[in-house]
Structure 1
Amino acid sequence: MNKNEYNELIAFHPGYYISEIIEEMELTQEEFSKRLGVTPKHLSEIVNGKAKVTPEIAQKLSIVLDSSVEMWLNLQMKYDIKITEIKIQKERDEQIRIFKELDYQFFVKNGFIDSVKDTYERAKQICSFLKIADLAVLKRPDLAANFRSSSDSRSEKNIINANAWLEVATKIGKERTVGEYDAQKLKSYLPEIRRMTVQDPSQFSPRLNEIFAECGVAFVLLPKMKNAKINGVVKWLTNSKALVAMNDRMSYADTFWFSLFHEIEHVFQHKTKQVMISCNEDDMYEINKQYEDEADAFSQNYLIDPDDYAAFVSRAYFSKESVTNFAKHIGIHPGIVVGRLQKDTLIGYNVMNDLKIKYRIS
């Protein structure tokens, strides 16, 4: 404890030298403590680097060892300075280590920060943008949601990036001006939102934002972040303002609309103290299965009425023409019907994918 090393940095506590002197004098620590006029415990703490050499102790040492007070105080000062250097270097190295786990290009490509060369400066930029003291904050499994903690480095990487993605989404959501949350108003807009499934993103995206804002929901679409393993979130920023954030992994029409209505149901659940997250890995986040099942059922059944779907699949004939006609009949995009049939294993995942268009809406 009286000698601290980190890389090329070494800090010698005054106790290191006192220990050598005691040995040279062929005394025990207890014997030397009596000569110094301190308790054996106090001397042991100094020798082991747990207690500082104070001006009083420096005065005693100078008399017993025929040395100067300044020498001992200088040794203590140099030790403190070197320990600070070690601490700063460790923190810097840890920042760089965590930074290397982050998807840095996510921040640069989306214009959140400017590109710089120095790795440590990059880490500081991200900290400044996210309003956190250091990147170690992103390791906390309970920072933005109840992620499962693990000693596995891969899981740590997932948590770091998931927290970062959530913090960006939350930051943007807080900046959005929306009205007071109104569940009834949002429900009244559901038929219009469903009809948007047949529109181009350039048509429905602005209107979708208007509807959500009017109903008290900040709707944020973000690109995916590598290793975040997170697709969407519902988080209550206040009791009357909800955040719905989704990433562009859901670029196919069927997954986008299923996910959107899934998140809308989480908004209706109005669990203001809980963060509802859709993850790639079921074991990454502490989910409430009841709420997730409710959200899945709501999305599935609102997009395609169960009775209509049952009647359609009972014919057991699935061609492009039949799927397209059915989708037109119920007023949704045919890709949503294809996605449902694939999920229910009624057709293969390689069938009719040309009907599942991709969106570019982030």
Structure 2
Amino acid sequence: MDTKEIDGAELADALGISTDDFDALIRGHRRLTESDAGVLADNLGSTTRFWLARDKSYVLDMARLDESSQDSEASWVASMPAASMRKFGWVPKGSKSKNKLKDEILAFFGCLTLQEWGQRYSSGVGAVAFRTSLSLASDGMATLVWLRAGELAIADRDLPEFDLSAFRNMLPGLKKLSAFKRPSAFVPRLVAACRSVGVAVATARTPDGCRASGASWFDTNGNPVILLSFRHMAEDHFWFTFFHEAAHIVLHGQDHIDGEGAVFMG
């Protein structure tokens, strides 16, 4: 159009359409008719066949992109442990539409689109290192879902500033809590004690595919977070995992790295 020194209003007039319809034509929201193609050939050059071929090529390209996008969305949904997420109440039960399930999983992650999810979670949840069993592979998406469940569990907690010295001094005394055999007895006491020194402790069930026993990271306020899974349903394993993660926080702070079969995110 610039080469022919003709503006949009003139071309719209030649086509016999409104400027809004012309804008839709330019943006690919309106198909090109044979009559339109003839007008373009007369005003911009080339042939009617050329402009119709360009329109057809554009439509096919857009269809391929849309199909690719749908395939990507379907693959993303399929990679998620949806059955476990429904079972645990993290997404509503009964969604049969894959598109609706996609939106519900995105909402669980606090995102509106896959693009937003990719930007927020492509590097994982902060600088997380979580401990896994060496003999078991850990599914990345399932573990990411578990970590997100941990994020949500502590989202509303108002923590004081982290006191590293107080946390370090508290750890030997926390071993006494292992005398309690029921999680309903020792978990609230553990959570309250750690909260008093600015450490968030949470538990979350592992979805199918997640083999993590524990994870630790620092939130945006600089408070440590310890997430535990009860994966082996045994008190001794729970306490081993807690003190393992606590040691990383005490010894390495925000630069802690878990070398025992760890998977790193971020």
- TM-score normalised per structure 1: 0.51
What SS is found at the alignment partner of 2:102? helix
Residue 271 of structure 1 aligns with an amino acid whose one-letter code is G
**Highest RCO, 1 vs 2 (Cα 8 Å, sep ≥ 6):** 2
* Pair 1:240-2:222 in alignment: yes
Contiguous gaps of at least 5 residues in structure 2: 1-36, 130-135
CA contact (8 A) 1:179 1:213 kept: yes
Q: Confirm or deny that 1:111 pairs with 2:89.
A: yes
Aligned partner of 2:192 in structure 1 is: 210
Q: Which has the larger radius of gyration?
A: 1
CA contact (8 A) 2:80 2:141 kept: yes
Matched, 1:195 2:176: yes
Aligned twin of 2:72: 94
1:257-313 residue CA offsets vs partner (Å, 9 max, x unmatched): 111111111221353255x5687xx2x6259xxxxxxxxxxxxxxxxxxxxxxxxxx
* Structure 2 partner of 1:175: 156
Alignment partner of 1:228 is 2:207: no
Question: Within 2, Cα distance between the matches of 1:171 and 1:127?
Answer: 14
Whether the 8 Å CA contact 1:137–1:143 is kept in 2: the answer is: no
Deviation at 1:190, TM superposition (A): 2.4
Q: CA deviation at 1:77?
A: 4.6
**What letter corresponds to residue 224 of structure 1 in structure 2?**
T
What residue number does 2:108 align with? 129
- Against the structure 1 CA distance between its residues 142 and 238, is the aligned structure 2 distance closer, same or farther, given a 3 Å change threshold? closer
Change (3 A) 1:257 1:272: same
**Residue among 141, 147, 157 paired with 1:166:** 147
Q: Is contact 2:128–2:217 with CA below 8 Å preserved after alignment?
A: no
- Where does 1:32-43 land on structure 2 (aligned, <5 Å)? none
5 Å-filtered alignment, 1:45-56, equals none
User: Post-superposition shift, 1:113?
Assistant: 1.4
Instruction: Give me the CA root mean square deviation.
Output: 3.6
Write out aligned runs for 1:1-362 (5 A). 58-59=40-41, 63-65=45-47, 67=48, 72=51, 75-77=53-55, 79-115=57-93, 116-132=95-111, 133-134=113-114, 137=118, 142-144=123-125, 158-199=139-180, 200-238=182-220, 240-273=222-255, 276=257, 282=261, 285=263
C-alpha separation in 2, matches of 1:167 and 1:277: 19
How far is 1:79 from its partner?
Answer: 4.0
Deviation (angstroms), 1:188: 3.6
Q: Distance in 2 between matches of 1:236 and 1:254?
A: 25
Letter in 2 for 1:107: M
Query: Aligned pair in 2 of structure 1 residues 64, 192: CA closer, same or farther (>3 Å)?
Result: closer
**How many angstroms apart in 1 are the aligned matches of 2:255 and 2:172?**
29
2:253 aligned counterpart, secondary structure: coil
Contact 1:181 1:242 in 2 (8 A): yes
The 1-side partners of 2:46 and 2:168 are apart by: 85
Structure 1: gaps spanning 5 or more residues = 1-54, 148-153, 288-362
Task: Identify if the C-alpha distance between structure 1 residues 223 and 85 changes in structure 2 by more than 3 Å, giving closer, same or farther.
Answer: same
Contact 1:231 1:278 in 2 (8 A): no
CA distance in structure 2 between the aligned counterparts of 1:122 and 1:270, rounded to whole angstroms: 40
Which secondary structure state, in structure 2, belongs to the residue aligned with residue 113 of structure 1? coil
Task: State whether residues 232 and 278 of structure 1, in contact with CA within 8 Å, keep that contact through their aligned partners in structure 2.
Answer: no
Letter in 2 for 1:214: S
- State whether residues 248 and 258 of structure 2, in contact with CA within 8 Å, keep that contact through their aligned partners in structure 1: no
TM-score normalised per structure 2: 0.67
2: distance between equivalents of 1:63 and 1:98?
Answer: 45
Q: Which amino acid aligns with 1:183?
A: L
DSSP-derived class of the 2:155 partner: helix
Q: Counterpart amino acid of 2:231?
A: R
- Write the distance in 1 (CA, Å) between the matches of 2:252 and 2:154: 17
